[in-house]
Amino acid sequence: MSAEDHMPTIGSDAPDFTLPDHKREAVTLSEQRGKNVVLAFFPAAFTGVCEKELCTFRDSIAAFNDLDAAVYGIAVDAPFSNAAFAERNSLNFPILSDYARAAVRAYDIAHDDFAGMTGYTAAKRSVFVVDKQGKLQYAWVADNPGQEPNYDEVKAAVEKLQG
C-alpha cells in the first residue's frame, strides 16, 4: 500500500476517475458535477449479495433521480461481465469497470485476496455520495462482503444535499 492510499474524508474532493461503463463508454466522475452522485462499489457481478444490493438500487432509482442524483455501480469485473450482469438484472444505471483497480485504490477499498484467491483484488462493498461540487458527503464501507448498505441512510445522505 502506498503512502497516498487512504480513504478520502468527508468534505474533501472525491477522487476523480474515468472508467468504462458496461457499454464500454468512458464515464468521468468530475464530468458529473452539477448533480449528486452515488457510487456503489461491489465485490463481484453474479454473486447473491451483490445482486440483491444492485437490484435494491435499481428499484429505488426513481427516488434518486428525483433527488437529482446519478447512481453508478462499480466492480473490478470486465465491462463484458458487467454488461451481462446489468442485462440479467434489468439494471437501469451504469455499471463501471474498475478492471485496473484505480478507483478501488483511490477510495482505499481494495479487498486483497478476495474469497481466498491469492493475488485477486476486488472492491470492498461500499457506498460513497458525492455532492454537486464533487465533494464527498457520505462514506460507508462494509465490514465483510455479506453486509449490505443501509439504503435508507444512503437516500437520507442524498436528501440532505437538496436545498
Query: Closest Cα to residue 99, out of 118, 74, 119?
Result: 74
Q: How far apart are CA 49 and CA 44, in angstroms?
A: 9
HEC-encoded secondary structure of 112-162: CCHHHCCCCCEECCEEEEECCCCEEEEEEECCCCCCCCCHHHHHHHHHCCC
pLDDT band (50, 70, 90) for residue 163: low
Domains recognised in the chain with CATH numbers: 18-157 (3.40.30.10)
pLDDT in tens, 70-104: 999 999 999 999 999 999 998 999 999 999 999 99
Confirm if 123 and 74 have CB atoms less than 8 A apart: yes
- In the chain, the percentage of residues whose pLDDT exceeds 70 is 95
Q: How far apart are CA 104 and CA 73, in angstroms?
A: 12
Marked catalytic residue, from 50, 54, 74, 161: 50
Is 50 noted as a catalytic residue in this protein? yes
pLDDT, position 5: 54
pTM score of the predicted model? 0.91
pLDDT band (50, 70, 90) for residue 133: very high
163 or 153, higher pLDDT: 153
pLDDT, position 3: 37
26 or 67, higher pLDDT: 26
